[in-house]
Structure 1
Amino acid sequence: MANEKGDEVVVMHDHDDDNNTENNDNNMETVTAGILFAALPKWFDAAIVGTLIFGGCCGNVFALEAIIKDEPAAGPLITFVQFVTVSLFTIPSFLSWSAGASSFFMKAPVIPLRSWTIYTLFFVTVNLLNNWAFAYHISVPLHIILRSGGPTASMIIGYWYNGRRYSRMQIFSVMLLTLGVVAAALADAKAQGKAISLSSGGDGDKPTLTFVTGFTILALAMLLSAFQGVYADRLYATHGNTHWREALLYSHMLSLPFFLPTYAQLSSQFRAFMSSPSMLADLHPAAAGSVPQDLIAGNALNNATMAVSHHVAASISSAISPSSMVAAAAAATPSSLTAHSGNLLAQTSNSFTNILSASTDAMQRDLLTTILNKTPSKIFYLIVNALTQYICIRGVYLLAAKSSSLTVTIVLNIRKLVSLLLSIYIFGNSLAAGVLIGAGFVFLGGALYGVGSARAKSNKMNSASATTELHYRHNQERGAKRAGMSSLFSVAKNNLSSSSLGMRETSPTRSRKVKV
């Protein structure tokens, strides 16, 4: 639309405002959908990792304590079964018929086997030491608390070998965590009547020596675990951090030959597990001790059979009783006979249906009872421990491939706090006041370290982005200067060429004399 002067005038109507509002809403929905589409995979991965770690590891601690409370020296057998289970679950994804028999029909690893062998030496040693400590009167709650001191060793090794620098909050949190570990260990030793002293001699020092040995084993395991984390960081930095499945397979499969020297010990421990009470006796010890097992197994089927027999007999007797037959004869018509026969068939069908359902339920109960009666309780807990260990370690390796070793340590500390609370609640473990205070320091230090690590990472990212922007501006300035210099040079060159051409055009023509 134009006014009197000929200028164009834009007239806004109400429906134009509505269109603009709808466009803005659509743009907001598009942006929101884009943000969710970008963030959901990360949230989904975090949820999977959290479920694997907290669900699998906490269930693993439950099964472990059910074994350790009666068999404290069963650490090597537990470790061996865990490694076999993880290897069997992981190896199918690495099989390849095209690889040939020379490579055992397995795909070539991305990371060399030599590197995995070094990593495996750390891995199997740490696991054997951690499970071996239970033989030296280290309880499961104290084991959880002491192993939570991993960030201390990780920080020391990271500073010495990787040259890493840590913030003041990280250093303070690790000091707090170390103080909590030492306080918990001393309080637990004192509560068990094993006050630590440096004197030697006498039988009274044997419990003290045993406890100190177990504590030393765990300290050595933490130190080796820190070296393992540093070595894993270097492997992932060199070959990429997407090979956690490969690490999961080779770290467990290559560890199996190291158990050959302990074959006699593993065999004796397995026989002890096989001779443990059955699951039925473990669940109902009073009933299992007073009632024969075959009677327990057959009661369900006998009761179901008797109930069905009474039901069928009542149905048949009511159908063929004299009174019912007289009444049926008195009212005998074709339609009534048809209805009566239909009712009889329906009752018979219902009776057989009840027989089948009762028999099926009885057989299922009988099968479950037989399995519980034949399965040793320690074998059951050993299988549960191995399966939950696979779930737990899968989550840990997935987390290790996406973050640093210290972040893994902090996440596992939180998981250990949950396991500690479950151990106290389910198994009735009582901890002294000093142990609880030390545990509070440990997990508070772990939380502070997590906050400090997040701040350090954020500051590092901000400084990196600022450095990148500074380099970009510097390159732009250098490019502009180069462009200006090149333009000046081209102008000067053009001027020089034009001036030389003008001189040629204006120069006088020299006449040459030619002699004839």
Structure 2
Amino acid sequence: MSLSASVDWAVILSLIFGGCCSNAWALEKSAAQNRNAGTLITLAQFVIVTLVGLPKHLCFKTRDTTTSYSSFSVRHLLSSPSSVLKIRLKPRAIPISRWMVQVILFLLTSLLNNAAFKYRVPMTVHIIFRSAGLVTNLLLGWAWAGKRYTRLQVLSVLLVTLGVALTTISTRPRTSPTTSSIQDEHIQRDYAIGVSILTGALILSSAMGLSQDKTYSQYGRGHWEEGMFYLHFLSLPMFAPLLPDIQEQVQILNASPPLDVLGYMPREFKRFSAPSIPIFWVPVIINVVTQLVCVSGVHRLTAKVSSLTVTLVTAVRKAVSLVLSVVVFGGGRGDGWLWMGSSLVFIGTLLYTADGTRRVPESSKSKGLKQE
């Protein structure tokens, strides 16, 4: 049992750190090539997760039997040639009404996070904002669920808030002597809009987390595959109003220069012909594939542990992504204020999580304090 648990945790952490860090890099590259492709990327991510998860949630029903996709074969049809085959979704462990609220919040969060790249918001700010969920979690938990928090948790949230502010200020676009005042004003306005979009996405993400935590607490935490599938599957019809923008982005990506695949291969392979692919599609495809890996790990983790542990693991993952984005892929060392703000965010997250794992003293309980 210990070996099985260790293997399970190794798989989860590999999916999260490998998939999510690679996904952040691919998203940064995609945004650098085409800042307006956020909606297309979001749709592609939702489609691939839905297609991969669909077989596990299908069953085939004949007149006499109901068979799951995994055990269905041609012999079921041959044994009952007169029966009528019906394909339907398996019964859900969690009512569809409980998923719909999370679906809307999840879709809006994903669209807003990817749309922020359009407004000159760098990946470092994306990472920091996605690490600042403690702030909105505390406020929404207090206002919505009536939760109480300890002084250390409140202090931790203040540290995170200060860290986000420092990071946002340190990475704002600088004025340039080569640009006009109107251009500088336009750049600053875009950055402010992008930060506002990320703030809205942060609030929606925290609301979704609270709703998801409440659902798993009521129906059990063993339904991560169902959650991952329905959050993506039920969101697909909501992309219909966005189809004109998506078609435009597809045309832009198709018009990019073709990638010379054979140029990276040994000489003996260059005599073969290879299909060309527009170069803008490469990071998009990598992003979509790694998104599948990333969300699989996060949903597995959410189904195994409490939201506090999920917060801790994802905070460490985002710290790794930040270092990779600035130092490894960015080729720089980063601004001092950036690292100070980032440190405050992650220290606050660690303090908050550590305090959440402690039992509240009896004296605190008598005063009405309650752990999240």
Asked if TM exceeds 0.5, the reply is yes
1:377 correspondence with 2:279: yes
DSSP 3-state at the match of 2:256: coil
- Greater strand proportion: 2
Q: CA deviation at 1:277?
A: 2.4
C-alpha separation in 1, matches of 2:132 and 2:260: 39
Q: CA deviation at 1:388?
A: 0.6
Contact 2:129 2:202 in 1 (8 A): no
Residue in structure 2 matched with residue 387 of structure 1 by the alignment = 289
TM value normalised by structure 1:
0.61
Question: Could you list the runs of 5+ residues in structure 2 that have no partner in the other structure?
Answer: 68-83, 366-372
**1:436 corresponds to which residue?**
339
Distance in 2, matches of 1:399 and 1:221, equals 22
The superposition leaves residues 98-142 of structure 1 with CA deviations (integer Å, 9 ceiling, x where unpaired) of: 269998521021211122112100110000011011111101112
Letter in 1 for 2:37: A
The Cα shift of 1:427 comes to 3.1
Amino acid in the other structure paired with 1:88 = L
Q: Distance in 1 between matches of 2:139 and 2:262?
A: 46
1:212 matched to 2:185? The reply is: no
Calculate the aligned-residue CA RMSD, in Å. 2.7
Count of aligned pairs: 338
Tell me by how many angstroms 1:442 deviates: 1.1
Identity value in percent: 34
Return the alpha-carbon distance in structure 1 between the equivalents of residues 263 and 119 of structure 2: 29
Matches within 5 A, 1:217-366: 217-280=197-260, 300=267, 362=268, 364=269, 366=271
SS at match of 2:146: coil
Q: List 4+ stretches of structure 1 deviating above 4 A.
A: 99-104, 201-204, 281-284, 364-367
Deviations 1:434-481 (A, max 9, x none): 112111111121222222222248x79xx9xxxxxxxxxxxxxxxxxx
Say yes or no: does 1:422 pair with 2:324: yes
| 1:317-354 Cα deviation digits (max 9, x unpaired) | xxxxxxxxxxxxxxxxxxxxxxxxxxxxxxxxxxxxxx
Q: Is the 2:60–2:86 contact (alpha carbons within 8 Å) kept by the matching residues of 1?
A: no
Offset, 1:97: 0.2
Structure 1 residues without counterparts, runs of 5 or longer: 1-36, 195-200, 285-296, 301-361, 464-516
1:203 to partner: Cα distance: 5.9
* 2:52 aligned with 1:89: yes
How many angstroms apart in 2 are the aligned matches of 1:60 and 1:175?
29
Q: Which amino acid aligns with 2:356?
A: S
Q: 2:5 aligns with which of 36, 42, 46?
A: 42
1:132 equivalent in structure 2:
115
Within a 5 Å distance, the mapping from 1:78-227 to structure 2 comes to 78-98=41-61, 104-189=87-172, 192-193=174-175, 204-227=184-207
TM-score (norm. length: structure 2): 0.83
Tell me whether 154-163 or 49-58 shows the greater mean CA deviation: 154-163
Q: Partner of 1:412 in structure 2?
A: 314
Counting helix residues as a fraction of each chain, which structure ranks higher? 1
For the 8 Å contact 2:127–2:318, the answer to whether it is kept is yes
Q: For residues 16 and 105 of structure 2, what CA distance do their matches in structure 1 show?
A: 21
SS at match of 1:166: coil
Alpha-carbon distance in structure 2 between the residues aligned to 1:218 and 1:103: 44
Partner of 2:358: 455
User: Distance in 2 between the 1:231 and 1:215 partners?
Assistant: 25
Matched residues in 2 for 1:102 and 1:91: separation? Answer: 18
How far did residue 256 of structure 1 move? Answer: 0.7
> Which one has the largest radius of gyration?
1
Letter paired with 1:78: I
Distance 1:47 1:242 in 2: 18
1:413 shift after superposition: 1.5
Offset, 1:252: 0.3
1:282–1:169: structure 2 CA closer, same or farther, 3 Å change rule?
A: farther
